[in-house]
Chains A and B, each alone.
Chain A
């Protein structure tokens, strides 16, 4: 096919490195995983794995390496591996992150990299916790658009300004990184937690929704927004960059404004 076609006019000399498939740096790490195997041992314990990993690998790749090459019994949740499904939030070097979004090269290799389950939710096995209490709170704030009266027959208008009020909180992927980083949630399992408040915020500030008052009522509980101590752990933990603490503050203000 190309023989009948003109030769390209423009040609450049590619740099020597180009074309050889650039070298990805390699390094050794110690992955220190908090194991919990309720069938065999009563207590959780740390287990170290020595691994050779690459500069482009994430913590999830290291966990896969352990599971596939070293110990098939290691249990963790993962699904999309693209930071969208929210299933692999875990505590990495003491901070809540998504394993699929955390690059190993960004962590300190001179010390073991610790990986443990997120805190504050019942531990089931290894890195897997029971998410039900988390979703229970989520469901209580009615995470869907509620209309009073007739269903709209056509598109409802919403100004760009009104849309901006809740756009940030639409980005939540329900990974629980925020809620399980919250010291209040750790000590008081009844607290709604940041994720539920973020998702309430998403509808309370949506001009099309008619149930904001109901949600504010739910969150005006002693286990609601007022438990928040503005430690900002949630904001730092959010893999989607949502301004969680700010959203909680806005909900607090909305409750106050309404009561006046």
Chain B
């Protein structure tokens, strides 16, 4: 036995301690089922904490006419008809319960005078249905979940990096990993595993994801276990992430800046939105503004740093101070820039993975028995464009559903599989990387992937560029054979980066291949060589290493939802 390896057994293992992972763990603990949650970051520091805007449910508090059917219709409309109607229905129907669960844990929602939870307009919603807590909704959600988990005494391992899911005959039986600080190994046996470890937006150079997160690690764990990915090419780009300084690149400038009258200009001083959407101009949708800015930059009318200008300096100072205080504060802090006098340099920024691990709509089970995926790691709800405020409610709804499914699955097992071979493979994988002494630096290679994806699979894509991207990826993967891993006095970060790199390469390949196959322009996915939407491509693209991209039909939309789908004005309702 290896004294530096801790062996743990539990019923359900949850990988990821953000909103979705904790919500699932709470449900399991409330049911009296043994659960262990592991995260590579401290639980207080999940990405969920950084979500500012709000969380959707058709509570009808403000607008009585609202219904879950309308919420579903708005979601499908916004998805450019690529959302799975079953997934959407489950989320929209279960949303009120999701809010009530948070309320039950003591979340401090903003309230109306009469005591009901307040709701506001957000993005392309027909009605006011976004609940919130100041401008720190995500932080309050995460805190409420952390507190509830503490109350239920749910065991949580922080700073453990899971490197491999343990599988025998397509049935998961646990996971293997190591402590990022000490290098201590963890062998965790579990009847079922819930993967809640985020998406892949960190494989682009400009991203709102922080370092070391959303590196595609969840995708890699699932695919190596035998699962598939769905629509990896569908990534939401936020139009306005800042470019400098490097340490703050990707920090988002609220879309409210445009909503309040901000003007977009290229380096020539042209108000370029007049080219792309003469009527709505800056008030156009998130995907169109991102596309317009990208095109300006690509065609050489961008700034030296590869951005465009967002100018709010013509607005009255009071408007900026009262309506956009965070924009003012942020720019002053990170760039010493006074936005009341100077324009802000911005660029489209990878923000959210709308695709993810292929899951069944009803219980978010994957192709692997006992393996489930939730949150940004999963797929089905957002299609080709995400309705603002939907990702937070998805965590609450599917956290509950997946936990129950995982518990039921565990109870149905006749025996618990084990595989010495799978375990030996997981151990050897870490041993081999630790012994690797090549000349290639893992962070450098990660940068190479991010540059390649930005150059060839950004906001606008085309056949030639994607092919060139794949060729570069082949080259990068070749270099990955020669990495050197150097754990230092500060811990085993380098080893974690090596696994992140494997995840990033896999996520990049899936994204490039699916983007090649989607020869149309739809929502966030723009093909300059196929500028129109193609009805025959109203399908999901499912990717696996062995079969490449396979088309999957989208089920019919129930009549009660489809009849409510209509154009929704987004004027004055821009989202963060």
Q: Quick check: is A257 within 8 A (CB to CB) of the other chain?
A: no
| A54 lies within 8 A of B245 (CB) | yes
Chain A interface mostly = loop
A99 to B265, CA, bound (A): 35
Kindly supply a per-residue 1/0 record for chain B positions 433-466, scoring 1 wherever the CB is within 8 Å of any chain A CB and 0 otherwise.
Answer: 0000000000000000000000000000000000
Of the candidates A5, A22, A73, A84, which one forms a contact with B275 in the assembled complex, judged by CB atoms under 8 Å apart?
A: A5
Give the contacts of B179-215 with A (CB-CB under 8 A): 210
Interface size range on A against B: 35 or more
| A160 lies within 8 A of B335 (CB) | no
Considering the complex, give the chain B residue whose CB is closest to the CB of A157. B115
| A79 lies within 8 A of B528 (CB) | no
Q: Quick check: is B336 within 8 A (CB to CB) of the other chain?
A: yes
Considering the complex, give the chain A residue whose CB is closest to the CB of B159. A79
By a CB distance below 8 angstroms, the chain A residues around B343 are 14, 18
Of the candidates A20, A73, A209, which one forms a contact with B106 in the assembled complex, judged by CB atoms under 8 Å apart?
A: A209
Q: Quick check: is B44 within 8 A (CB to CB) of the other chain?
A: yes
Q: Quick check: is B104 within 8 A (CB to CB) of the other chain?
A: yes
| B336 lies within 8 A of A56 (CB) | yes
Of the candidates B106, B245, B303, which one forms a contact with A203 in the assembled complex, judged by CB atoms under 8 Å apart?
A: B106
Give the contacts of A144-178 with B (CB-CB under 8 A): 144-146, 151-152, 154-160, 162-163, 166-167, 170-171, 173-174
| A24 lies within 8 A of B100 (CB) | no
Give the contacts of A172-204 with B (CB-CB under 8 A): 173-174, 203
Of the candidates B111, B136, B278, which one forms a contact with A171 in the assembled complex, judged by CB atoms under 8 Å apart?
A: B136
By a CB distance below 8 angstroms, the chain A residues around B247 are 57, 61, 81
| B41 lies within 8 A of A79 (CB) | yes
| A103 lies within 8 A of B333 (CB) | yes
Q: Using known A-B contacts A155-B99, A203-B106, determine if residue A20 contacts B304 with beta carbons closer than 8 Å.
A: yes
A19 to B139, CA, bound (A): 36
By a CB distance below 8 angstroms, the chain B residues around A44 are none
A79 to B93, CA, bound (A): 36
A144 to B148, CA, bound (A): 6
Considering the complex, give the chain A residue whose CB is closest to the CB of B528. A1
Instruction: Flag the segment in B67-75, B266-274, B392-400 that touches A.
Output: B266-274
| B49 lies within 8 A of A6 (CB) | no
| B42 lies within 8 A of A79 (CB) | yes
Give the contacts of B312-340 with A (CB-CB under 8 A): 333-337
Considering the complex, give the chain B residue whose CB is closest to the CB of A202. B108
By a CB distance below 8 angstroms, the chain A residues around B9 are none
By a CB distance below 8 angstroms, the chain B residues around A9 are 271, 274
By a CB distance below 8 angstroms, the chain B residues around A167 are 108, 134
| B269 lies within 8 A of A12 (CB) | yes
| B248 lies within 8 A of A56 (CB) | yes
Give the Cβ gap from A47 to chain B, nearest Cβ, in Å: 16
| A87 lies within 8 A of B42 (CB) | yes
Give the Cβ gap from B306 to chain A, nearest Cβ, in Å: 10
Considering the complex, give the chain A residue whose CB is closest to the CB of B247. A61
B interface residues, how many (CB within 8 angstroms):
68
Q: Quick check: is B50 within 8 A (CB to CB) of the other chain?
A: yes
| B335 lies within 8 A of A56 (CB) | yes
Q: Quick check: is B541 within 8 A (CB to CB) of the other chain?
A: no
Kindly supply a per-residue 1/0 record for chain B positions 69-110, scoring 1 wherever the CB is within 8 Å of any chain A CB and 0 otherwise.
Answer: 000000000000000000000000000000110011110111
A110 to B134, CA, bound (A): 39
Give the Cβ gap from A240 to chain B, nearest Cβ, in Å: 9
By a CB distance below 8 angstroms, the chain A residues around B151 are 142, 144, 146
Give the Cβ gap from B514 to chain A, nearest Cβ, in Å: 23
Give the Cβ gap from A53 to chain B, nearest Cβ, in Å: 11
By a CB distance below 8 angstroms, the chain B residues around A132 are none
Q: Quick check: is B530 within 8 A (CB to CB) of the other chain?
A: no
| B106 lies within 8 A of A206 (CB) | yes
| B50 lies within 8 A of A156 (CB) | no
Q: Quick check: is B305 within 8 A (CB to CB) of the other chain?
A: yes
Give the Cβ gap from A72 to chain B, nearest Cβ, in Å: 6
| A84 lies within 8 A of B269 (CB) | no
Give the contacts of A26-77 with B (CB-CB under 8 A): 54-57, 61, 67, 72-73, 75
Q: Quick check: is B140 within 8 A (CB to CB) of the other chain?
A: yes
Of the candidates A24, A79, A143, which one forms a contact with B150 in the assembled complex, judged by CB atoms under 8 Å apart?
A: A143
By a CB distance below 8 angstroms, the chain B residues around A87 are 42, 44-45
Give the Cβ gap from B102 to chain A, nearest Cβ, in Å: 10
| A151 lies within 8 A of B337 (CB) | no
A232 to B276, CA, bound (A): 55
Kindly supply a per-residue 1/0 record for chain A positions 1-12, scoring 1 wherever the CB is within 8 Å of any chain B CB and 0 otherwise.
Answer: 110011111111
| B271 lies within 8 A of A10 (CB) | yes
Considering the complex, give the chain A residue whose CB is closest to the CB of B59. A155
A22 to B150, CA, bound (A): 47
Of the candidates A5, A8, A80, A146, which one forms a contact with B45 in the assembled complex, judged by CB atoms under 8 Å apart?
A: A80
- By a beta-carbon cutoff of 8 Å, the part of chain B in contact with chain A is 41-42, 44-45, 49-50, 59, 99-100, 103-106, 108-117, 133-134, 136, 139-140, 143, 147-148, 150-151, 210, 244-245, 247-248, 265, 267-272, 274-276, 278, 295, 299, 303-305, 309, 333-337, 342-343, 345, 488-490, 528, 531
Q: Can you report 13 residue pairs joining A to B where beta carbons are below 8 Å apart?
A: A5-B276, A8-B272, A12-B265, A14-B269, A18-B309, A18-B343, A21-B304, A56-B248, A73-B489, A80-B50, A144-B105, A144-B147, A156-B103
The 7 closest A-B pairs by CB, nearest first: A145-B106, A157-B115, A85-B45, A144-B151, A8-B274, A144-B147, A5-B275
- By a beta-carbon cutoff of 8 Å, the part of chain A in contact with chain B is 1-2, 5-14, 18-22, 24-25, 54-57, 61, 67, 72-73, 75, 79-82, 84-87, 103, 105, 139, 142-146, 151-152, 154-160, 162-163, 166-167, 170-171, 173-174, 203, 206, 208-209
